[in-house]
Structure 1
Amino acid sequence: MSWHLYILSSIFIIAGIFHFVRPKAFMRVMPLYIPYHKLIVYLSGLAELSAGIGLLFTTSRVFSLWAIVIMLILFFPVHIHMLVHKKASLNLPKSILVFRLFLQFGIIYWAYQYI
């Protein structure tokens, strides 16, 4: 397995863990039109954690890569919400929020390279 996949796996495992460690931060950035914030934070954390772990095994790697691509696409509204609404921005500078938005395209491309 390429070391790139270990890095991608680590990113998603760590991100998934943070959904359980700091759920209020994740709930704060969610658009109001999304229901059940706490449940979705925990489910998305579990999905990120599972996808990150799944990358480590040949039998689940392709499924996990697709899961990462789909999750990142589904997370776009949250990143746009953070960019547009100051209260959801976690006081991050706009430049960082714009960078995060474009970074998602790069991570989607990165994951797709291994499918």
Structure 2
Amino acid sequence: MIRSGLRMLLALFYLGAGIMHLVSPRAFLAITPYWVPFPEAVVAITGVAEIAGAIGLMIPQLRKWAATGLALYALCVWPANFQHAIYGLALGEEALGWWYHGPRLAFQPVLIWLALWVGHVTDWPFRKSH
């Protein structure tokens, strides 16, 4: 019950983020590291990937693949989160402080694990003994 509820919540999170990547890419372009080629295309593709992952989490036959993809995605975008934090890039009118960036950076491994757990890729640390 908890796993399915968190799966739905994670799917909604990624669906919303994916839509924002497509509808309002400016904020995502601002935190894209300079070494990423074709940043506009990358932001659009990552938005589509988030939407596809969100949908895939809700389809049992695709769940493990979607969860693995979202976990890898969260790992791959981590450099953008670091760039955002280190350079204090503004989103909108003002820059966000470490009260935002610290927890966000620390939560990224949890987000990776959560995708794998809700997608039934892992049962760790809740594995039942046989």
TM-score range, shorter chain: over 0.9
- Secondary structure, aligned partner of 1:16: helix
Counterparts of 1:99 and 1:56 in 2: how far apart (Å)? 27
- Secondary structure, aligned partner of 2:51: helix
CA contact (8 A) 1:83 1:89 kept: no
TM-score by length of 1: 0.93
* Pairing 1:44–2:46 present: yes
Aligned to 1:98: 102
CA contact (8 A) 1:31 1:78 kept: yes
TM-score by length of 2: 0.83
Higher percent of residues as helix: 1
Which consecutive residues of structure 1, in runs of 5 or more, have no partner in the other structure?
Answer: none
Aligned to 2:126: none
Aligned to 1:19: 21
TM superposition outliers: structure 1 runs of 4+ over 6 Å? none
Aligned to 2:82: 80
1:2-52 CA distance string (max 9 Å, x none):
111111111110100000111111101111111111000000000000000
Aligned to 1:111: 115
Rg larger in structure: 2
1:57-98 CA distance string (max 9 Å, x none):
011100000001100110111011111112x24311122011
Counterparts of 2:110 and 2:52 in 1: how far apart (Å)? 21
Counting aligned pairs with the same residue, the percent is 25
